[in-house]
Structure 1
Amino acid sequence: MPAITVDDVLVLPRLPRQDPATTSFRPVRRLLTAPSGYEGEGFPVRRAFAGVPMSELDPFIHLDQMGEVDYAPGEPKGTAWHPHRGFETVTYMIDGIMDHQDSTGGGGTITNGDTQWMTAGSGLLHIEAPPEHLVTSGGLFHGLQLWVNLPRVAKMSPPRYQDIRGREAALVTTPDGGALVRVIAGEIGGHRGPGSTHTPITISHVTVQPGAEVDLPWRSDFNALVYVLGGKGTVGTGRRPVHTGQLAVYGSGEAIRFAAADRQDAHTAALDVYVMGGLPIREPVAHYGPFVMNTRAELIQAVEDYQAGRLGVVPAERMPHADR
């Protein structure tokens, strides 16, 4: 699980040490195991938010862990052309390569440690797929796609993109150097990531070495979610055991705690977690497939606009593999 790493974490800035006497650590409210399924043209995913009430996810909507899978030649898969309106997709590639193209003329490639932040806003069509050379050769594929809701005032804003290279993330470590914290968006302990957001949120990928414990300062008005990408460990001050594919939903407080087990398996040398939190929007959510609006009437309008071609058309110049 390479993403972006450093040879020596001890040269990085360090997060402040949390004082248990003055800091309110968040309890773990809920612990769930993500069910497995398939997305797009048939690539495997874990539905990380399945079973969590929307009130505890707000401002987030959906999270898929894509893979981890080692494809044989000819096996890599992506999605067909499809629409979005009313929210943002945040795609984080850990291993492998993903190409993107859309009906506005945008596009690009993300690979190890990169994030593509797409604000769908008023709507577009897009496609995500492995490049042709990866389809031919096969290879490792592993990533995440997070859906972030937009507030009512921004739902019909023009689409826009942020291509965040892995090297742009703020890299910090814990007081004892036991973890590498990659801040992709928002701020942790005074260290700010490059992602620009409509709603205040924080997103981070943290790698914790065996036996190490992490205490992250966390805004008290944010929710807090920790998803285990790989490895074994514990969450909360009660040290509830967790493993790959599980989501911990934390309660209120000023800091979150998680730790890596002393022993990991041969495939996962450390505990890797994706940490998310944000300021709840607290608006009605009407969600249907690739549309996230505030009312049923707005959903109906989104479907009608898509069917009428008002969300764009598939461009004549398409990615080489887009018509398979």
Structure 2
Amino acid sequence: MTSRTVKALHPALRDDIGDLTTRRPLPGPGLEQVDPFLFLNHHGPQVYPPNNRGLPFGPHPHRGFETVTFILDGELAHLDSGGHESVIRAGGVQWMTAGRGLVHAEISPESFKRQGGALEILQLWVNLPARLKMTTPAYTGLQRADIPAIAADAGRVQIDLISGEWEGQQGPIRSETGIAMAVLRFEAGGALSPAVPPAHNVFLYVVRGELAVSGRQVPAGNLVTLNQDGDAVEMLAGTQGALVLFGHAMPFDEPVVAHGPFVMNTAQEIQQAVRDYQRGLFGGIPGG
């Protein structure tokens, strides 16, 4: 296999939401998307005191894409107008397909607001192609025990497989667009060179630690873009190990028109989304 070379590093920029520490590597200066990956918010790490107000993401609409939320620390409650409800704890993942439209809330459980605690969350937005923009909304909440943990490099790397296939094992999420997604946990000196189809775009964000990608050092808080000049991604962790969000997918190569919580292909479709939401066609949830 031939390792892809690094195109550029894109540091996450600070953009706090109220008292929630937030950094965003995508979109950023010079990088609008890594088709079909659109947006990443890195919330925390931080510690909430007892009797806190919790997360600020009350009821709001979405249409035309998917949200994938990784709970690295703490807890996250989900409620949406499709009738889905869950509380996902550390190590778990929420995968929501907004499709034709729904209203959802991502908030802290009452127990977390009373007791406080550590919190760190990643939220990734993944586009849907035109043929699936108006698909039926769906939601899957995975606890840590629902996610396969695959050992590699003599146990120095753990692959938490969310979607796609890894050496014959299938992730619990079956993506309709063939997206592969995993959380990679490297011990010091751990190495991994996963195969990636040459036509796919790679999504690689270093959450913690330090990682060498094709020999280039990547500090925590950086998104790496790669050239499409190989069929593998060479990764080597530094002395403190690393935590990495890793995915890949075939790009859609379609127009992207985004407006707030809606991502469509044309401005007219955005206008229709706004009208549909205002008419109540996305449904509602208690307190919304």
Tell me whether the two structures share a fold, i.e. TM-score over 0.5: yes
Matched residue, 1:113: 91
Render the CA deviation track for 1:220-265: whole Å, top value 9, x for unaligned: 22111211111123111xx222222111111121110111112x3x
C-alpha distance in 1, partners of 2:30/2:38? 10
- 1:189-204 counterparts in 2 under 5 A? 189-204=167-182
Give the conservation status (yes or no) of the 8 Å contact 1:202–1:278. yes
List alignment gaps of at least 5 residues for structure 2. Answer: none
List alignment gaps of at least 5 residues for structure 1. Answer: 1-22, 265-269
Give the conservation status (yes or no) of the 8 Å contact 2:147–2:161. yes
Matched residue, 2:251: 280
Render the CA deviation track for 1:6-40: whole Å, top value 9, x for unaligned: xxxxxxxxxxxxxxxxx11010111111001124x
Give the conservation status (yes or no) of the 8 Å contact 1:94–1:112. yes
Is 2:55 the partner of 1:77?
yes
C-alpha distance in 2, partners of 1:30/1:276? 17
**Which aligned segments of 4 or more residues in structure 1 are displaced greater than 6 angstroms?**
none
Structure 2 counterpart of 1:47, from 24, 28, 33: 24
Counterpart amino acid of residue 31 in structure 2: P
Is 2:193 the partner of 1:211?
no
Give the conservation status (yes or no) of the 8 Å contact 1:188–1:218. no
1:24/1:35 CA distance change after superposition, 3 Å: same
Is 2:217 the partner of 1:241?
yes
Say which structure is richer in strand. 2
Cα RMSD of the aligned pairs, angstroms, is 1.6
C-alpha distance in 2, partners of 1:251/1:192? 27
Question: Aligned residue pairs: how many?
Answer: 285
Query: How high is the TM-score relative to the length of structure 1?
Result: 0.84
- Percent same amino acid among aligned pairs? 36
Counterpart amino acid of residue 68 in structure 1: P
C-alpha distance in 2, partners of 1:53/1:142? 24
Give the conservation status (yes or no) of the 8 Å contact 2:55–2:106. no
Counterpart amino acid of residue 245 in structure 1: G
- 1:155-174 counterparts in 2 under 5 A? 155-174=133-152
C-alpha distance in 2, partners of 1:175/1:128? 36
- Aligned-residue offset at 1:144: 1.0
Structure 2 counterpart of 1:98, from 62, 76, 92: 76
Counterpart amino acid of residue 73 in structure 2: D
C-alpha distance in 2, partners of 1:61/1:216? 22
- Aligned-residue offset at 1:42: 4.2
Matched residue, 2:118: 140
SS of match in other structure, 1:65: strand
C-alpha distance in 2, partners of 1:222/1:52? 20
C-alpha distance in 2, partners of 1:197/1:208? 25
SS of match in other structure, 2:201: coil
